[in-house]
């Protein structure tokens, strides 16, 4: 895994810091060097293969439901999930990982994370099965009357991220979404393969993905906390960890846009 990302192994492919010619004082040069983006060498291997080592695709559904239709929407989605995951042709390959509504951030919004074992072939098979299923099409039509907009992304999981584990006790989740500058995904992976080691103390890392279809150069990190106070303490602890500030300094210049949302699990979410 580490060798694919070229991380601190002494290989020639390890990114080198680009330093401009400067006449600034030494202490200023040291500060500026943390804000510079490291160079990524060309490669003949696809970025997705370098960043992800599993043939599993994830679907991230974002639904903006009508404010007056929240309960009807939740019921509709619960029935939809039950239908899809219990279908004989899909039950072994399609799984709901998590389902949440947004508490802080974009209001009247729900997020659903699906896992497709077998990758895009499973997604093709699922589309064929559901398009001929009258019960599913009825639920889909009903849902269209309850939502204002829908968005779907297909994602791959970062290979260096901890394996997804469902939580059984009640928690809150935070999804931090980043729109990166085109061409910087490998650099992001290089830095976060180290940075994730600073965020494992409290078992808060839930999932990390990058987009394959939909909005491209998007990254989503999902964190799990007991509550907002625990979130604050955990994040402050990371800043006290030597090396975390350097990882942040290297990744900030790669970002075009970022935002976070605090999520609450739905009653039918597999992870609570």
pLDDT recorded at residue 248: 86
Each residue's pLDDT tens digit, 93-149: 999 999 999 999 999 999 999 999 999 999 999 999 999 999 999 999 999 999 999
- The pLDDT assigned to 240 comes to 80
- 121 is a domain residue: yes
CA–CA dist 265, 272 (Å, integer): 6
Higher pLDDT, 125 or 201: 125
Q: What is the pLDDT of residues 233-262, one digit of tens each?
A: 888 888 887 878 888 888 999 999 999 999
Contact 204, 234 (CB under 8 A): yes
Is residue 63 domain-resident? yes
pLDDT digits (tens, 9 = 90+) for 167-190: 998 999 999 999 999 989 999 998
| CATH code of the domain in which 105 resides | 3.30.70.100
Tell me how many domains the chain contains. Answer: 1
Looking at the domain assignment, is residue 215 inside a domain?
Answer: no
| DSSP designation for 127 | H
Tell me the two tokens of residue 123.
């997604």
Among 111-115, 134-138, 194-198, 221-225, name the one with the lowest average pLDDT: 194-198
User: Is 89 domain-assigned?
Assistant: yes
pLDDT band for position 49 (cuts 50, 70, 90): low
Give which of 119, 108, 113 is closest to 221, Cα–Cα.
Answer: 113
pLDDT at 46 over 60: no
Highest mean pLDDT among 19-23, 189-193, 199-203, 238-242: 189-193
In a domain, 18, yes or no: no
Domain that holds residue 143: 56-156
94, part of any domain: yes
Residue 124 lies in a domain: yes
Residue with tokens 């394996």: 163
**Mean pLDDT across 24-35:** 40
In a domain, 249, yes or no: no
């Amino acid at each position: 895994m580490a060798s694919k990302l070229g991380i601190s192994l002494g290989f020639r492919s390890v990114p080198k810091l680009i330093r401009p010619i400067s006449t600034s004082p030494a202490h200023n040069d040291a500060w500026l060097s943390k804000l510079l983006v490291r160079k990524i060498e060309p490669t003949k291997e696809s970025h997705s293969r370098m960043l992800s080592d599993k043939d599993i695709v994830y679907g991230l559904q974002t639904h903006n439901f009508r404010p007056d239709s929240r309960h009807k929407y939740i019921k509709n989605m619960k029935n939809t999930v039950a239908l899809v995951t219990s279908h004989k042709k899909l039950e072994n390959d399609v799984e709901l990982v998590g389902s949440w509504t947004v508490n802080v951030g974009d209001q009247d919004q729900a997020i659903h994370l699906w896992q497709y074992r077998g990758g895009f072939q499973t997604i093709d098979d699922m589309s064929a099965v559901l398009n001929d299923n009258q019960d599913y099409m009825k639920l889909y039509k009903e849902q269209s009357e309850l939502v204002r907009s829908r968005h779907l992304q297909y994602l791959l999981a970062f290979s260096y991220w901890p394996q997804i584990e469902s939580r059984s006790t009640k928690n809150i989740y935070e999804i931090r979404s980043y729109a990166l500058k085109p061409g910087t995904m490998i650099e992001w992976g290089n830095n976060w393969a180290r940075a994730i080691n600073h965020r494992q103390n409290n078992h808060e890392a839930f999932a990390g993905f990058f987009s394959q279809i939909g909005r491209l150069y998007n990254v989503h990190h999902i964190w799990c906390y007991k509550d907002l106070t625990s979130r604050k303490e955990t994040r402050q602890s990371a800043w006290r960890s030597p090396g975390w500030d350097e990882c942040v300094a290297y990744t900030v210049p790669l970002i075009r846009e970022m935002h976070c949302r605090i999520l609450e699990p739905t009653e039918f979410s597999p992870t609570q």
